[in-house]
A = this chain, B = another copy of it.
Amino acid sequence: MKNVYGIKGNIIYTKIFGKYEVVSNGIIVIENERVKGVYNDLPLKYKNIDIKDYGDKLIIPGFIDLHLHAPQFPNMGLGLDKELMPWLNKYTFPEEAKYENLQYAEDVYKKLIKKIWSVGTTRCCIFNTIHKESTKLLLDLFNKSGLGAYIGKVNMDRESPDILIEDTNKSISETIELIKEYKDKYKLVKPIITPRFVPTCSFELLKSLGEIAGKYDIPVQSHLCENSGEIELVKKLHPECRNYTEVYDKANLLKENKTIMAHCVLVNEEEIDLLRDKKVFIAHCPTSNLNLSSGIAPIRRLIERKVNVGLASDISGGHTLSIPEVITSSAQVSNLKWLNSNKVEEKLTTAELFYLATKGGGKFFGKVGSFEEDYEFDALVIDDSDLLIENNLSIEERLQKFLYIGNSNNIILRYVSGNLINEPIL
């Protein structure tokens, strides 16, 4: 059969939140870039397909990063003893202003994409800057890499530094131009509407972006309730709204299964209801929330309330692009939540966090992040031999060890939508 092949190894993934599916020495059959099934014994019809045997190695879904800022890559690890606003003004905004320079942008983007590839992230959602041309460049480079991504030109027309403020009409027209040019251009790399956040976007701009998102059926990403100062500012700017989330809703920016809101550290019960009803995805960014003293997002509560949640690096508020490191950080802050709730609010287990890091965020991309039938085949092959001193660990324990103490060097192969992706030559 053509377009059909198999991959053999110790397979571990999730279908349901918190429950591992484990097939040791199993075979994943892929047809036309999608999973047909996971087997211990191949059905007769597949007896003659090519099988790549990875022996004792682990095979897991690729990691999904629901929120990161490409132009902040050069600032990773800088200024992280500051709070959100001082950090934005000293480090972030001056850096973002540089991306009018395409040569500089190209140099940074190439290094960023290689790093994203190396850490085993197969799909991500990216904020660029306000600059249209550098955003096009980033879309083109990502497509060349073979990785999947939604990439947005940032919109900001108020409460912004002079070096980064847009004229409202220009912001709108450039956004439309980008969307028309890129919405159907690439298979795995797409544009996304990206108002920076309410404070930096006039309601006129937000409303227009909502209309564009509707007219061209484009997804949306922004920030929500990261920090108390930010929420106060939104209250001042929008006394007509009952809360921060409602501002986005009034602008038709909360689209069913098509909107990502980063952070949600301080969302109230009313906002949680709205996020659930609108099927919004929350990008949980614990490393960033810790580094910038924002707090701990109520992830267990959001999940119990049926809100979609995925994990995200949020560089460079976050200091690492590694989703396994974000999993570790998510576990740690959920341990503190448990402690602060007098041991009532249950901790997130490694299996639950692994789900969020793969299928949880993958849902935003369609059938991505699992090895269930008809899922796009995004996978990592993990050689964890240097992490093992004992040889009697279960597959689940080996995965946990890799997530906590492994690194890029343990990831020996990366598949995206059925294709083996080698280190990007850009």
A binding-site residues for B, Cβ under 8 Å: 73-74, 76-81, 107-108, 111, 287, 290-293, 295-296, 319-320, 328, 331-333, 335-336, 338-339, 347-350, 387, 389-390, 393, 397, 400-407
Contacts and interface: CB of A to CB of B under 8 A. Distances in A.
Contact of A80 (B290, B336, B339, B400): B400
Contacts of A331: 80-81, 291
Contacts of A406: 77
Given A77-B402, A291-B331, 20 more contacts: A74-B389, A76-B401, A76-B404, A77-B387, A77-B401, A77-B404, A77-B405, A78-B393, A78-B400, A78-B404, A80-B400, A81-B347, A108-B389, A287-B332, A295-B336, A319-B404, A319-B405, A320-B405, A336-B336, A407-B407
A243 to B, nearest CB: 21
A407 B322 CA distance: 13
A405 B111 CA distance: 15
Contacts of A404: 76-78, 80, 319
5 contacts: A76-B401, A77-B400, A295-B336, A296-B336, A336-B336
B339 A295 contact: yes
A386 to B, nearest CB: 9
A44 to B, nearest CB: 40
B349 A81 contact: yes
A251 to B, nearest CB: 30
Contacts of A328: 319
A107 B347 contact: no
B401 A339 contact: no
Contact of A335 (B293, B387, B403): B293
B77 A389 contact: no
Contact of A290 (B79, B335, B393, B401): B335
Contacts of A320: 405
A336 to B, nearest CB: 7
A331 B296 CA distance: 15
> 4 closest Cβ contacts across the A-B interface?
A77-B404, A290-B332, A77-B405, A74-B389
B293 A339 contact: yes
Contacts of A350: 80-81
A401 B80 CA distance: 9
B335 A291 contact: yes
Given A293-B335, A338-B293, A389-B111, A78 B319 contact: no
Contacts of A332: 287, 290-291
A76 B77 CA distance: 25
A338 B82 CA distance: 12
A227 to B, nearest CB: 10
Interface centre among A78, A328, A332 (most CB of B within 10 A): A332
